[in-house]
Amino acid sequence: GKGSERMALNIDPPGGTFPASGGNATFSVLNLTEARMAFKIIRLEGPPKADKFVVQWAEVPDEETDAKAPFQAGAQAGEVVMPVKAE
């Protein structure tokens, strides 16, 4: 199951706070595998609140140049939920 999956990513810092009016934060996403990976980060639109980013990843063959393709093909290999907050 999902609990036995070896972690493929390291995200630093593991959570974050953003200004509710908008802004930027920098996170380091490190691929801990030998495989070539594509990443997708999802945050649903909504009011400022305690929230989360869902970081999904999928293995990508060397010849693939479109990072969206593996997700469109349903090749998602894993995901991690990262807590964030807008205040």
Per residue in 30-67, pLDDT (tens digit) is 888 888 888 887 777 777 778 888 888 888 888 988 88
Contacts (Cβ under 8 Å, ≥6 apart) of 72: none
pLDDT of residue 1: 42
pLDDT: which is higher, 18 or 62:
62
- Indicate which CATH number applies to the domain containing 31: 2.60.40.10
Per the structure, the complete domain to which residue 51 belongs is given by 2-86
- Cα–Cα distance between 46 and 62 in angstroms, integer? 37
* Percentage of the chain exceeding pLDDT 70: 91
pLDDT of residue 6: 62
Q: What span, in angstroms and rounded, lies between the C-alpha atoms of 73 and 76?
A: 8
Among 22, 15, 3, 11, smallest CA distance to 56 is for 11
Task: Identify the CA nearest to 12 among candidates 26, 28, 24.
Answer: 28
Total structural domains within the chain: 1
Question: Is a pLDDT exceeding 50 seen at residue 3?
Answer: no
CA angle 80, 71, 69 (to 5 degrees): 140
